[in-house]
Amino acid sequence: AGSVGYYYLLEEYQTASNLLLDSVEDLQTSTNKVRDYAKKIESVEAELKALHTKAATVEQLNELRSEIKKVYDALNIEHLELKSHVWGLEMDLQKVHDQAKKSV
């Protein structure tokens, strides 16, 4: 009876040890997954910080938009001035041409 009880206890101990070992292995796997996720989160946070420093603010975009409008307006004014100047030259050439016709 004593040896049967001892055998039973030894069998129970072995089963409990195997279950504990399986649980420890599962815990290790879970711990590794959590560690990997933590590394990924840190990596994403670092990328986010880098993007945040590189990203333009709304104020910067508004300033740039304003500068582009000023440049565009200045180009339009210069274009109109050039058109006006060319038109003036055409009128002067027309006068010279008309005078040359009259004198011939």
Mean pLDDT within 6-26: 96
Within this chain, do residues 26 and 46 fall inside the same structural domain, yes or no? Answer: yes
Between residues 5 and 79, the one the model is more confident about: 79
Domain edge (last residue) among 55, 75, 94: 55
Within this chain, do residues 3 and 31 fall inside the same structural domain, yes or no? Answer: yes
pLDDT at residue 104 tops 90: no
Within this chain, do residues 36 and 60 fall inside the same structural domain, yes or no? Answer: no
The reply to whether the predicted model has a pTM over 0.85 is no
Tens digits of residue pLDDT in 19-71: 999 999 999 999 999 999 999 999 999 999 999 989 989 999 999 999 999 99
Q: What pLDDT does 101 receive?
A: 87
Q: How many domains does the chain fold into?
A: 2
Residue 57 phi, psi dihedral angles, 5° rounding: -85, 165
Distances (CA, A) of 12 to 4, 9, 21, 32, 96: 12, 5, 14, 30, 120
